Chains A and B, each alone.
Chain A
Amino acid sequence: MNLAINLIQALLLIAIAPLVSGIIARSKAQMQNRRGASLWRPYAELLKLFRKQDLVPDTASALFRFAPVILFAATATAAAFVPVLHPSALFDVSGDIILFVYLLAIGRFFLMLGAMDGGSSFGGLGASREALVSALAEAPLLLALISVAILSHTVSLSGIVLATVRQDPLHLSAVYAFALGALVLVAIAETGRIPVDNPSTHLELTMIHEAMVLEYSGPSLALIEWASAMKLTLILALLTGIFAPWGMATNASIAALFLAPLVFAVKLALLAAVIAVIESSIAKLRIYLIPDFLGMASALAILAVAFTALMR
């Protein structure tokens, strides 16, 4: 039973990822007084891309075609660590917060390599900027996760979620505030949203992720797009799981199991709408302001960790 739910929630995360980008695109359009495309458009786009030819630059090696596969596989494996419907996951092991962070790093590393294999300056430009953002984002991400792990006396994601579920929402530790602040900032940087990166730009002055995937087309591009949507969904699911897990099925009753996906869907849609609001109201940061942005995240994460000890 548990295994089935765990499998379903991992597959669910993979399946709904394009929908989340659809919701963000739609809400953004409506913020800007446009009607916007259908919520399901990302699925149609993936389908279209999967049917197309894969164009491979003549300079590229086999790694160019393998990088998207590895990116997708690593991100999908990371999906098996996130508790969604109930406080447990397919790969549920003490210390998985580190594994989760580093599984995402695999995909990023190979995407950077794939970008550099194209042999044009755009790929290198994107990879270089991605290296800047990811190198500085890893520390606050891990520290923020560690601070909540210390609070809940466990080192596994599901343990953290379980500890938060059992707490009285009105008596949460202030550490959560710092950790939430840090994680939100890191989530924006990691998933390449405004103000760190603009997912809809094609201007070489500003693009990071788009520059990396410029040479990709067809099924490879589909895998990359799907994996980035999945990464966004994973991090949003992680945020809701750690900071607002209420509504998860803590027992195996039918009612709880039916309620959990609904509550999760509502939370996810809300977060997607928040992202749309942020993206419509803030301008992108200049690239050399990104370290300050992540410096803020690091400061919050350091405070979160320090307070776990001071407030014992």
Chain B
Amino acid sequence: MMQIIFNSFLVVLLIIPAVTLVCRRGRRVRFAPSLLLLLVCVAGAIVAAFSFWRGDRLAVDLSWATPFPFALSVDRLSAFFLLLICAVGAPVTLFSISYVERHYSQGKADWLWALLPLFVLSMALVVTASTAFAFLCGWELMTLFSAALILIDGDSERRRHNIFIYLLMMHAGAAAVIASFFLFLPHANGLDFAAMRGAAAAMPTGMRTAIFLLSFIGFGTKAGIVPFHLWLPKAHPIAPSPVSALMSAVMLKTAIYGFVRFTFDFLGGGPIWWGYLVLLAGAISGLLGILYALTEHDLKRILAYHSVENIGIIYLGLGTALVFMANNSPAWAAVALVAALLHSLNHALFKSLLFLGAGAVSEATHTIDIEQMGGLLKRMKLTGIVFLIGCCSIIGLPLFNGFVSEWMIFRSFIEGSQLQGISSSIVLPLMAGVLALIGGLAAACFAKIFGVAFLGRARSPQAEQATEVARPMQSAMALLAASCVVIGILPGLVVNPLAVLANDLMHTPVLPEGAFSISRTLPWIAACAAFLMIVIAGLRRITRITPTWACGLPALDSRMQYSAAAFSKPLRTVFARVYKADRTVDVQYAQPPYFAKSVSYCSVRTTSFERSLYRPAVNGIVNIATRLRKLQTGNMQVYLLYIFLALIALLVFMRFA
């Protein structure tokens, strides 16, 4: 039964683009592709949920139709990520139905409904593939479809440049992934996953290290860990909001899936420095992601940087698991792995919620600059409340889902102190400090976002006239918000099957005692807090609406409010060394040095990586290319000479080889 639904899930995703073509003329059937996609996502979520909770295996083999072995199979790990894709895909589709209706002409809408199912299909292909060929097909298509979806919103010079960087970095990453697959070839008979898993244990250390490093770089580029994150804040913000939600919430997770598949499933862990490398990448990504997010005012760019931060947190969990494995403590490695996977799911839920919220807000105010918003909670009640839930989840407040996974990561950090290796027992507990700092900075950042965008006075005429968005958009966001709260209060629903999955991967029977102690306490805390809140809120309070105290002046206006730039200024000053901002201040005086006529101030941050890491590399490549250009004279005789020389070189080579 499940197998049939799974097969039709794949087939229907493939034919929705055709349905779009057929249905474009009729007014009655114009919702057919979107409703079909919604239905398919729900069906996929059900199949994945069954397979994830019960451990059913599903398989599809298409090798008879393809030149290389092409097969899909769903085990618990695949099912978990498939669930993640479909569970986010369904609300995103629901949201898109009215988003597309309002934003796009018929032609663009057709493109979106044709490409969106293919994008979902390619991601599903990645997480369910059981041969290298199928995996790489999905991997490439995922990049191309997402780039095509970004292009729907227009192709100005700047956007094309950003997409070029996106595609370039994705292909560099894909090269590393392909190489790490092919390194298995001398040792495994065939590139299906079972053979690779079997061959990995007997491979020489150097080969295993090479595979690990290549997959670390390849998947890290897709996941957006620092310093491979360059494309992320460029590509995500320019996509249509539902697509940004899918890219940020789901597409990045396929890289986590790939990394877990390679490092934990195939290679089965490795020496301790693997763990330290992953921890280091996680810590740097987490800290830099959040620090860069603090300085931004473009809502979608902030969220994109927060993806870098959250991927960092996931890598902290994965690195901890590797360190535990290297220290022969598989039970706690399983806990850290559960934490990392749970955080992947949580991030998918709250980040898609926040991106959809950003879409709703930008629809209502026609801007994504938070300095132009303000006071939206009064005008968009539901959007405001669900956005607040998203904020609480992402900064990891208790009773919301982000807290549960961060708690588990903290818990495994603390447990690291009990390890025999002295370096691990110092490094892991100290990582808790890094995670706490990330959490504190995230709270500051989201206080800024929510405070500036949703609270206080409207900061622009558009924000003043904002109205609530359409019902389907609201319900899509409400669904995601509800799932954040449910996982936050009853985390056992997801953690228990995840524990089974992690125990399988680590070959341990059960999670250690106390590894998940809060799951039974959280409902009580929720009950206690709810009780207190109801009691206090029930107290009789007479309220009177008055103007805000203006220090005796006639009235305040919106420009007197603290802006987002002002809010983050203290933290930016403290971390000035990290930003290395390029500031240019240009003051025109009426009578120097007094009476400034005009002041222009420009501060460019977040470019230090571009400047110090990528710029030299790009310059180097361009330099070499310029020198090589001398070879291309355009003269026919010279090319004949090249051929002749090559022939002679080959003959000489063949003679002595």
| A residues at B contact (CB < 8 Å) | 50, 53-63, 65-66, 69-70, 72-74, 76-77, 80, 91, 93-96, 98-99, 101-103, 105-106, 108-109, 112-113, 115-121, 123-125, 127-129, 131-132, 134-143, 146-147, 149-150, 153, 155, 214-215, 218-220, 223, 287-288, 291, 298, 301-302, 305-306, 308-310, 312
Contacts known (A73-B536, A128-B569, A135-B444); A150 close to B546, Cβ less than 8 A: no
Report the nearest A residue to B451, measured CB to CB: A116
B contacts, CB < 8 Å to A:
375, 377-378, 384, 388, 392, 395-398, 403, 407, 410-411, 413-414, 417-418, 422, 425-426, 429-430, 432-434, 436-437, 439-441, 443-444, 446-448, 450-452, 454-457, 514, 517-518, 520-521, 524-525, 528-529, 532-533, 536-537, 539, 541-550, 556, 558, 560-563, 566-571, 573-574
Judging by beta carbons under 8 Å apart, are A102 and B396 in contact? yes
Q: Which residues of the partner chain B approach A305 to less than 8 Å between Cβ atoms? A: 417, 426, 429-430, 433
Known contacts A56-B546, A155-B411, A120 near B561 by CB under 8 Å: yes
Other contacts beyond A139-B437, A146-B413: 10, CB < 8 A: A54-B544, A56-B545, A58-B548, A69-B537, A124-B451, A124-B563, A132-B570, A138-B436, A153-B418, A214-B549
- Least CB distance from B484 to A in Å reads 15
Interface contact A287-B570, CB-CB below 8 Å: yes
Chain A residues near B443: list those with CB within 8 A.
105, 108-109, 131, 134-135
Q: Are B521 and A54 in contact (CB under 8 A)?
A: no
Q: Is the CB of A69 within 8 A of B542?
A: no
How far apart sit A298 and B436, CA to CA, in the bound complex (Å)?
A: 11
Asked whether A219 lies within 8 Å of B539 as measured between CB atoms, the reply is yes
CB proximity of B119 to chain A, nearest CB, Å: 35
Give every chain B residue within 8 A of A55 (Cβ-Cβ): 543-544, 546
Q: Which of B528, B563, B568 contacts A77 (CB 8 A)?
A: B528
A304 — nearest CB in chain B belongs to which residue?
Answer: B429
Closest chain B CB from A220 CB (angstroms): 8
B414–A146 touching, CB < 8 Å: yes
CB within 8 Å for A74 and B455 given contacts A95-B517, A138-B439: no
Q: Which residues of B contact A312 (CB under 8 A)?
A: 425
Tell whether, in the assembled complex, residue B414 and residue A99 are in contact, meaning their CB atoms are under 8 Å apart.
no
Docked pose: A309 CA to B420 CA in angstroms:
10
Q: Are B447 and A309 in contact (CB under 8 A)?
A: no
Q: Are A69 and B548 in contact (CB under 8 A)?
A: no
Q: Which A residues touch B457, using CB under 8 A?
A: 59, 119
- The CA of A79 and the CA of B396, in the complex, are separated in Å by 20
Least CB distance from B361 to A in Å reads: 15
* Contacting residue for A74 out of B450, B529, B547, CB 8 A: B529
Q: Do residues B395 and A155 form an inter-chain contact, with CB atoms below 8 A?
A: no
Contact (Cβ within 8 A) B452 A116:
yes
With beta carbons under 8 angstroms apart, the residue of A102, A127, A291 that contacts B562 is: A127
Q: Contact between A124 and B407 (Cβ–Cβ < 8 Å)? A: no
Shortest distance between the CB of B553 and any CB in chain A (Å): 11
Contact call A124/B410, Cβ cutoff below 8 A: no
Interface of A is mostly: helix
Are B574 and A124 within 8 A (Cβ)?
A: no
Residues on A with C-beta less than 8 A from B560 are 120-121
Residue of A109, A142, A223, A288 touching B395 (CB-CB under 8 A):
A109
Chain B's closest residue to A305 (CB) is B429
CB neighbours (8 Å) of A54 from chain B are 541-544
CB of B73 to closest CB in A, whole Å: 37
Chain B residues closer than 8 Å to A135, beta-carbon distance? 437, 440-441, 443-444, 571
- Provide the residues of chain B in CB contact with A143, threshold 8 Å: 429-430, 432-433, 436
Most buried by B among A93, A105, A116: A116
CB-defined contacts of B558 to chain A, threshold 8 Å = 119
B59 to chain A, nearest CB (A): 40
A62's nearest neighbour on chain B, judged by CB, is: B377
Q: Does A93 lie within 8 Å of B562, measured CB to CB?
A: no
Kindly list chain B residues whose C-beta atoms are within 8 Å of the C-beta of A99: 398, 407, 518, 521, 525
Partner of A59, one of B456, B544, B567, B568: B456
Residue contact B455 to A309, C-beta cutoff 8 Å: no
Shortest beta-carbon distance from B651 to chain A in Å:
65
Q: Determine whether the beta carbon of B548 is less than 8 Å from that of A53.
A: no
Which residues of the other chain, B, contact A58 by a CB distance below 8 angstroms? Answer: 545-548
Q: Which 6 A-B pairs have the closest CB atoms?
A: A124-B562, A116-B451, A131-B444, A135-B440, A138-B440, A73-B532
Query: Cα distance A219–B543 when bound, in Å?
Result: 10
Give Cα distance in the complex from A147 to B425, angstroms.
12
Q: List 30 A-B contacts (CB under 8 A).
A: A54-B543, A59-B375, A95-B411, A96-B518, A112-B447, A113-B450, A115-B451, A116-B447, A118-B456, A120-B550, A121-B562, A123-B562, A125-B562, A125-B566, A127-B451, A128-B566, A128-B567, A128-B569, A128-B570, A132-B571, A132-B574, A135-B437, A136-B440, A136-B574, A138-B440, A142-B433, A146-B417, A147-B429, A298-B433, A306-B430
A138 closest partner in B (C-beta): B440
Provide the bound-state CA to CA distance between A59 and B451, in Å.
Answer: 13
Q: How far is the CA of A140 from the CA of B436 in the complex (A)?
A: 8
Q: Is the CB of A117 within 8 A of B456?
A: yes
What residues of A have a CB within 8 angstroms of the CB of B518 in the complex? 93, 95-96, 99
Who on chain A is nearest to B441 by CB? A135
Known: A58-B548, A93-B521, A131-B448. A98 touches B411 (CB 8 A): yes
